[in-house]
Amino acid sequence: DAKTTQPPSMDCAEGRAANLPCNHSTISGNEYVYWYRQIHSQGPQYIIHGLKNNETNEMASLIITEDRKSSTLILPHATLRDTAVYYCIVRVAPSGSARQLTFGSGTQLTVLP
Amino acid sequence: GAGVSQSPSNKVTEKGKDVELRCDPISGHTALYWYRQSLGQGLEFLIYFQGNSAPDKSGLPSDRFSAERTGGSVSTLTIQRTQQEDSAVYLCASSLRDSKAFFGQGTRLTVV
């Protein structure tokens, strides 16, 4: 699986958009970009995934650059409950599979009131 | 239940003792996964069950670790002769085959 690089921490004001970047410059053509998050003392939670096109669901939007070397997870209106560690993962797998997921250190997002 | 249930939520054990961790997956989910997460670290894959297929045990760190899944539902992760480096949060997840996975709250294991 391709290696990903994320900033260790970010702050965001409540109600504003949170934009979380991820670099994956060694991504292969058949690898998907997944995002999970882990709220303190809880298990990881799937957010969204994509291959080439931008994706949007009820939780977030995923913007993937044309060369696929980086992506951005967007939480359009961050709330205090979005405070969590956000993990960007790149792997070959269908849908939101958790098979052999390997999480790095992620980005600690703190939403400030 | 509505989600993945793990028990106990916390376990403190003495070095050298055996422990059993239980996972009740979401009803009907055929895939079940065990991971562990050490303090401040990412998730480490341990084992994967899918239906009646042979489990993928490639992530088990040593032969002290084993897991079984009875009747395609409940799973038990067993750690024999526990060591201090086994201290971690052990997470279970389940899914419909290889679709989106749902994680439990985990079991925090402390070996003293």
Which of A3, A35, A46, A86 should we substitute to test contact with B (largest number of B Cβ atoms within 10 Å)?
A46
Q: What is the mean pLDDT of chain A?
A: 88
Which of B32, B103, B105, B107 should we substitute to test contact with A (largest number of A Cβ atoms within 10 Å)?
B103
Contact assignment for B42 to A102 by CB distance below 8 Å: yes
Using one digit for the tens of pLDDT, what is the confidence trace for A36-76? 999 987 888 989 989 998 999 999 999 999 999 999 999 99
Q: What is the mean pLDDT of chain B?
A: 91
How many alpha carbons fall within 13 Å on the CB side of residue B32?
A: 32
Nearest to B50 by CA among B33, B27, B74: B33
Flag whether pLDDT at B6 surpasses 80.
yes
Question: Residues of A near B (CB-CB distance < 8 A)?
Answer: 41-46, 87, 93-106
Measured between alpha carbons, how far is B90 from B104 in angstroms, rounded to an integer?
Answer: 9
Say if strands B31-37 and B43-50 run parallel, antiparallel, or are unpaired: antiparallel
Contacts for B73 with CB less than 8 Å, ≥ 6 apart: B24, B25, B27
Mean pLDDT within A15-27 = 95
Reported as a pLDDT band with limits 50, 70 and 90, residue A100 is: low
Flag whether pLDDT at B71 surpasses 90.
no
Of the partner residues A44, A95, A104, the one whose CB lies closest to the CB of residue B98 = A95
Which of B7, B9, B29, B43 should we substitute to test contact with A (largest number of A Cβ atoms within 10 Å)?
B43
Contact assignment for B43 to A96 by CB distance below 8 Å: no
Chain A neighbors of B58, CB-CB under 8 A: 100
AA identity, residue A89: I
Chain B neighbors of A87, CB-CB under 8 A: 42
Question: CB of A78 within 8 A of CB of A12?
Answer: yes
Chain B neighbors of A45, CB-CB under 8 A: 103
Contact assignment for A43 to B103 by CB distance below 8 Å: yes
